[in-house]
Structure 1
Amino acid sequence: MSLLQRLDNSILVLIKNSMHSIIMDKFMIIITSLGNGGVIWLLIAALLIINKKYRNVGFMAIGALILATVLGEGVLKHLVQRVRPSADIPAVNLLIAKPLSYSFPSGHTTSSFAVAGVLAKYLKKYSIGILGLASLIAFSRLYLYVHYPTDVIAGIILGLLCSKLVIDASNKMINYREDNNKEISV
């Protein structure tokens, strides 16, 4: 077993042995369910799209979520094919239904940080809460024994990269439109 795998396992065991309780179990199940299918992020994006002032931010959030899903779930999970901790350590009783996909990267974490990266950039007043929620969802995946710490770290990096790509692409499109509108009005 590699050093990284041993470190991953030891962190999961530490969480399991030092943090689990009936209250935390219930709380983490609720938190992780917010990330199922990106539901909380889709809801937030939909609310932003309804508001004309924040419509572009809502569309960027959805764009980041789509990009994160394609790259994480569609590409990387199938390239890496890492089994989940619950498959490696069968004695663990899962508190949620056993996920059927591969483990690397964490899809919940990737989608959460993809959208949170966009929202934190444009809704600075709420950035601590937004990033806090994304972090809780990411941690819940460790707590529930369905991801290794390196799956979650990769999800954070990939998610933030997706948010950056979408923000940069959106800014380029806005600048392009503004430049073309100046040329037309002259």
Structure 2
Amino acid sequence: MSLLQNIDNSILEFIKNNMHSSIMDKIMIICTYLGNGGAIWIAIAALLTISKKYRKVGFLTLGALALSAILGEGILKHLIQRTRPCIDIPAIDMLIAKPLSYSFPSGHAASAFAAVTVLSKYFKKYRIVLLGLALSIAFSRLYLYVHYPSDVIAGIILGLMCGKASMTLLQFITGKIDDSEPIAF
């Protein structure tokens, strides 16, 4: 077994032995459902697109989410084909249905951090709340034994890159260097 796999397994074992409780079970299930398919982030982006003032931010967020889905779910998962911990360690009592897709990278973490990268730039006042939600969604994937820690870390990195790429593309298109204030299209 590789060093990375040993570290991943040790972290999951620590979470299982030290953090599980009936209250945490419920909280983590809710967190993971919020992240299913990027649902919470798509909802936020859709609401932003309704407002003329925040429309650009909504579309930037949707662009970052689309890019993270294409790269993570569409390409990387199928190239790497890593099995999930709930498959590798079948003795775990699952709190949610076992996902059918591959494990690496975490799509929940990627979409959360793609969206938060964009949203926190334009809504600085809510940065801590957004980051807390993204971290809760990412952690829920470890807690529920559907991702290894390295899957989640890779998802976070992918999401950060996709969020930044979305904003960089807008800067390139508009020719603006600092685009920190939301403006309408």
Q: What TM-score does the superposition give when structure 1 sets the normalisation length?
A: 0.93
List aligned pairs for 1:21-40, cutoff 5 A: 21-40=21-40
| Structure (1/2) with the larger helix percentage | 1
Secondary structure of the corresponding residue to residue 68 of structure 2: helix
The one-letter amino acid of 1:19's match is M
Instruction: Compute the displacement of 1:144 (Å).
Output: 0.2
List aligned pairs for 1:1-16, cutoff 5 A: 1-16=1-16
Q: Work out the CA distance in 1 between the residues paired with 2:121 and 2:157.
A: 16
Q: Work out the CA distance in 1 between the residues paired with 2:65 and 2:105.
A: 14
Instruction: Compute the displacement of 1:62 (Å).
Output: 0.2
| Number of the residue aligned with 1:182 | none
| Number of the residue aligned with 1:183 | none
Q: Work out the CA distance in 2 between the residues paired with 1:46 and 1:78.
A: 29
| Number of the residue aligned with 2:42 | 42
| Ranges in structure 1 where 5+ consecutive residues have no aligned partner | 177-186
Question: RMSD value over aligned CA atoms?
Answer: 0.8
Instruction: Compute the displacement of 1:47 (Å).
Output: 1.1
Identity %: 67
Q: Work out the CA distance in 2 between the residues paired with 1:22 and 1:130.
A: 25
Q: Work out the CA distance in 1 between the residues paired with 2:90 and 2:119.
A: 38
| Number of the residue aligned with 2:155 | 155
1:104 aligns with 2:104: yes
Deviation digits for residues 58-82 of structure 1 (CA, Å, limit 9, x no counterpart): 0000000000000000000000000
Q: Per chain length, whose mean CA-contact separation is higher, i.e. which structure has more relative contact order (CA < 8 Å, sep 6+)?
A: 2
| Number of the residue aligned with 2:59 | 59
Deviation digits for residues 123-162 of structure 1 (CA, Å, limit 9, x no counterpart): 1111111111001000000000000000000000000000
| Number of the residue aligned with 1:85 | 85
Q: Work out the CA distance in 2 between the residues paired with 1:131 and 1:61.
A: 15
Instruction: Compute the displacement of 1:87 (Å).
Output: 0.8
| Ranges in structure 2 where 5+ consecutive residues have no aligned partner | 177-185
Q: Work out the CA distance in 1 between the residues paired with 2:51 and 2:136.
A: 27
Structure 1 moving runs of 4+ over 3 Å: none
Instruction: Compute the displacement of 1:175 (Å).
Output: 1.8
Q: Work out the CA distance in 2 between the residues paired with 1:31 and 1:4.
A: 26
Instruction: Compute the displacement of 1:105 (Å).
Output: 0.1
Aligned residues: 176
Secondary structure of the corresponding residue to residue 53 of structure 1: coil
